[in-house]
Structure formats: C-alpha cells, structure tokens
C-alpha cells in the first residue's frame, strides 16, 4: 500500500508518465527506502487509476508511442492527505543475514568471517551511495521545506548504514567461542 502513496506523492508534485516516474523521480528518491521495479509501478498506477485516484491523459510523442501522463485527482489528493496524517507502525525487519548470524553456530569461523565481511562491504557500498546522492545543500535554500525533509530522510538512511558498518566491524572483532572441534580465535585474525 505504501507504494501507492509514494507514487501519489510524486505525481502530486508533477504529473508524468510511468516511465519518467520510475526513472526520473522514483529511482532518485523513494527507491532507497521502498524499492519497486517498473512492472510494480505500472500495476500500481493502473490500480490507482481504476480507484479514481489518478487520471491519465495521452500525449503525442515524436520519439515513439504516445505517452500516458498520470495526474492525481481530488480523490487521490484527499487519500494522500489522509494517509500522510496517519501514524505508521515500525517497519518489519526482514534480513536474511540476521537469521544467518542468529543461527550460525555450526559455521566455521572462516565461513562466518566471510559472511560478515561480505555484509560489511555491502553496507559500506550503500553508505557510499547515500553519501554520493546529489542533493543541494540545505543552506542554499533554507526556506525550502521539501528540501529540508529530503535531507532529514537521507540523514536517517546514512545513519542506518553507518550503524550497520559499525556493528559488522564489531562482529568481525568479536571473540566468539569456537564451534565444536575448532580452536577459539578472533574472527578478524586469519592467522589464529
């Protein structure tokens, strides 16, 4: 359901085609915390149109097929406003790596080290991607509420990734008891 409201939010700022919505708006903002592929977006646009929350106008295109541009209706704006005023529950965390860690007692230290090191690289890469997002500095537009909210949202994403990186490094440095049949050693020290 949140994908519907993400799309309504974007289209409420600027009507656009499904393709442009995905590649020029969604992939630059929402996908960092609510991923969706092109087919999910098109299905959701169709459903929102059927519910009367969007309308679509067809525009001629010189570069291929006609373009279907989506616009938020009054019903869609009201649904979006109602949703924006609704308290949200904490998100459900579904992280397969946490299952591996929780029940990894049968893994060798080398196997566990490899899993942790891979996750560390994944989260370092995600943090680097967040840090590279081209967003104007808040100071350049101090009265721009939308930009301020974008900065706050991005700040949370960066904090989450920094916390993951710190925690994963702590996991690598942890002095864990050895699985049965192995000598105890620090995970981060391959010479032990």
Are residues 13 and 63 both part of a single domain?
yes
Write down the pLDDT at residue 191: 56
- The predicted-structure confidence for 3-42, as pLDDT tens digits, reads as follows 999 999 999 999 999 999 999 888 888 988 899 999 999 9
Average confidence score pLDDT of the chain: 91
Are residues 18 and 73 both part of a single domain?
yes
Structural domain including 134 reads: 96-173
Are residues 68 and 110 both part of a single domain?
no
Are residues 27 and 71 both part of a single domain?
yes
pTM: 0.79
Q: Is residue 49 part of a domain?
A: yes
Write down the pLDDT at residue 183: 61
Given a cut of 60, whether residue 184 has pLDDT beyond it is no
Reading the block at residue 98, the tokens are 């946490």
Are residues 108 and 146 both part of a single domain?
yes
Are residues 73 and 131 both part of a single domain?
no
Q: Among 60, 84, 108, where does a domain finish?
A: 84
Span 37-50, mean pLDDT?
Answer: 96
Are residues 136 and 115 both part of a single domain?
yes
DSSP state string for the chain = -HHHHHHHHHHHH--EEHHHIIIIIGGGTGGGTS---HHHHHHHHHHHHHTTSEEEEEE--TTSSPEEEEEE-HHHHHHHHHHHTS--PPPPP--HHHHHHHTGGGS-HHHHHHHHHHHHHHHHHHHHHHHT-----GGGSTT-HHHHHHHHHHHHHHHHHHHHHHHHHHHHH--PPPPTTS----TT-TT-
Residue 7 to residue 25: CA distance in whole angstroms: 9
Residue 183 to residue 19: CA distance in whole angstroms: 56
Least confident segment among 53-57, 84-88, 121-125, 138-142 = 138-142
Given a cut of 80, whether residue 95 has pLDDT beyond it is yes
pLDDT bucket at 186, cuts 50 / 70 / 90: low
- The predicted-structure confidence for 143-169, as pLDDT tens digits, reads as follows 999 889 999 999 999 999 999 999 999
pLDDT bucket at 190, cuts 50 / 70 / 90: low
Cβ(66)–Cβ(80) below 8 Å: no
Given a cut of 70, whether residue 182 has pLDDT beyond it is no
Q: Is residue 159 part of a domain?
A: yes
Given a cut of 90, whether residue 142 has pLDDT beyond it is no
The structural domain count of the chain equals: 2
Are residues 79 and 104 both part of a single domain?
no
Read off the CATH number of the domain in which 48 is found. Answer: 1.10.10.10
């Amino acid at each position: 359901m949140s994908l519907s409201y993400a799309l309504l939010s974007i289209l409420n700022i600027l009507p656009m085609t499904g393709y442009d919505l995905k590649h020029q708006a969604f992939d630059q903002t929402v996908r960092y915390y609510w991923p969706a592929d092109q087919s999910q977006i098109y299905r959701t646009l169709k459903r929102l149109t059927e519910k009367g929350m969007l309308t679509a106008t067809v525009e001629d295109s010189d570069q291929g097929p006609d373009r279907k541009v989506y616009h938020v209706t009054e019903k869609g704006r009201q649904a979006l406003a109602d949703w924006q005023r609704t308290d949200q529950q904490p998100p459900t965390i579904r992280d397969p790596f946490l299952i591996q860690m929780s029940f990894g007692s049968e893994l060798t230290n080398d196997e566990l080290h490899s899993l942790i090191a891979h996750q560390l690289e994944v989260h370092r890469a995600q943090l680097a991607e967040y840090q590279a997002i081209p967003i104007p500095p808040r100071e350049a537009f101090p009265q721009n509420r939308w930009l301020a909210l974008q900065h706050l949202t991005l700040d949370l994403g960066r904090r989450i990734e920094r916390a993951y990186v710190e925690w994963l490094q702590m996991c690598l440095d942890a002095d864990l008891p050895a699985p049965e049949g192995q000598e105890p050693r620090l995970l981060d020290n391959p010479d032990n």
